[in-house]
A and B are shown apart, each in its own frame.
Chain A
Amino acid sequence: MIAIVDYGAGNLVSVKKAFDCFEQQSAITSDPAVVAKATKVVLPGVGHFASTATLESSGLRAAIANAIGRGVPFLGICVGMQWMFEGSQESPSVAGLGILKGECERFPGTVKSPHVGWNSLEIDPRSRLFAGVSSASFVYFTHSFRARVDDATVACCEYGSSFAAAVERDHVFGVQFHPEKSGEIGLTLLSNFCAI
């Protein structure tokens, strides 16, 4: 069963709908015990980085960290991906999970922010998450903060400058865009995650 972690942020229904489409069992949950038993964990999220503080107080952070430690595949979406880093300038007092180094930063003043809409990706062909998805594919973004491109980056996007649209390390994945809102391409990605 895929646990879709509910911490009071974002449209969890759409993520669940996508899994329903592939007839994959999933449950929206805020219970650390359910996360502990899940075969896969998804951390969605739109909105403010500060909302991830709830993960700490509810015991979900520990449950997610344990699951990742045991090799359970994990997917962070939007703020859920940003949380995989050490933190975000959006809310400096809130610590991220820190399995990836660095801090998420605001877009430069030269571009409109938030970055809203369909933008194209440059994809690392070795990525497991993007299997069958070609570079230059379009996905839907809506965010004001972003992570720098580093060695965990498997998809880059250009907006003001190049930023990390997706990260991947072993069984841990993160996407800054919304696969559940990115049409067929997004569904392919979620289906790839289910197959991992």
Chain B
Amino acid sequence: MLTKRIIACLDVDGGRVVKGVQFTNLRDAGDPAELAKAHSRSGADEIVLLDISATHQGRATLLDTVRRTARELFIPFTVGGGIRTLEEASAVFAAGADKVSINSAALKNTDLIAQIASRFGSQAVVVAIDAKRRADKSGWDAFTKGGRIPAGRDAVEWAAEAEGCGAGEILLTSMDRDGTGAGFDCELTRAVANAVRIPVIASGGAGGAAHFVEVFREGQADAALAASIFHFGLHNLADLKQVLGSAGIPVRWPC
């Protein structure tokens, strides 16, 4: 049976993981390569590395970080953050990524999705959407530039269009829930999951194992992503999978 995926996200700035992970027995808790490996060992189904470097120098180290992280990682590995062109995406693939995640650049130029998909396959293109509920509660708007600027697009419609352009997966972040620990936005996730036929990865708001159960059941998510996955009062990812398993959610176990 196809399982629901738990994806560990590493936010990286200048080659260092900047938030949300507390492993023991690591020489260097900020090293993306070591953390990715530790997540993989403890049961993560996939690793996403998001480069959040604002500075040019910070970004320059990205390829080196990707190369080092990919070297000993034998589970799917997605890289995102600031990828604007086919050339930039190609360099990230050459460094060892299996998929790239694109956000602002895809909104600005939908052709980029098709370009990457026709060269590397749709399975290699994840379109990330930052969505915020409209004040009149009529739906959700997509935001660009790290959630700073409204893109003038309905998030659900944009997801469907991205699929049409060749996206292989949607990484959907609820800006309303992100960082709150109040649970995923199941309503948003379900709206997008019903509008597309490609997998939807829910992100933003995970605060406990119950939230994962909710987003898989009610949100109809195919995967759920969390950055600060060890702040849930769970000892490790294996514990989370045990909770999911007992709730009847199919998960990869043992890992």
Q: Which residues of A contact B (CB under 8 A)?
A: 9-11, 13-14, 17-18, 21, 46-48, 112-120, 138, 140, 142-143, 158-159, 178, 180-184, 186-187
Contacts and interface: CB of A to CB of B under 8 A. Distances in A.
A78 B168 CA distance: 16
B1 A116 contact: no
A interface, over-half SS:
mixed
Contacts of A180: 74
Contacts of B91: none
Given A114-B123, A140-B76, A143-B123, A14 B5 contact: no
A118 B70 contact: no
A46 B75 CA distance: 15
A47 B71 contact: no
B interface, over-half SS:
loop
B230 interface: no
Contacts of B4: 117
Nearest to A115: B2
Given A114-B122, A138-B252, A142-B123, A181 B74 contact: yes
27 contacts: A11-B97, A13-B94, A14-B70, A17-B74, A17-B96, A46-B123, A46-B124, A112-B199, A112-B222, A114-B168, A116-B168, A116-B198, A117-B2, A117-B4, A117-B45, A117-B199, A118-B2, A118-B3, A118-B5, A119-B3, A138-B252, A142-B76, A143-B123, A181-B75, A182-B74, A183-B74, A186-B74
Q: Which of B1, B74, B98, B120 has the most CB of A within 10 A?
A: B74
A11 B2 contact: no
A29 B66 CA distance: 23
Interface residues of B, number: 33
B40 interface: yes
B210 interface: no
Contact of A117 (B40, B93, B120, B222): B222
Contact of A159 (B2, B96, B124, B168): B2
A138 B3 contact: yes
A138 B43 CA distance: 12
B169 interface: yes
Given A14-B70, A181-B76, 16 more contacts: A13-B96, A14-B74, A17-B74, A47-B123, A112-B197, A115-B2, A116-B123, A117-B3, A118-B5, A118-B45, A118-B252, A119-B2, A138-B3, A140-B76, A142-B168, A182-B74
A182 to B, nearest CB: 7
Contacts of B76: 140, 142, 178, 181
B121 interface: yes
A119 B1 CA distance: 5
Contact of A120 (B1, B70, B120, B169): B1
Given A14-B70, A117-B5, A120-B1, A140 B122 contact: no
B229 to A, nearest CB: 17
Contacts of A140: 75-76
B5 A113 contact: no
B26 interface: no
Contacts of A120: 1, 3
Contacts of A47: 120-121, 123-124
Given A14-B70, A17-B70, A119-B3, A181 B199 contact: no
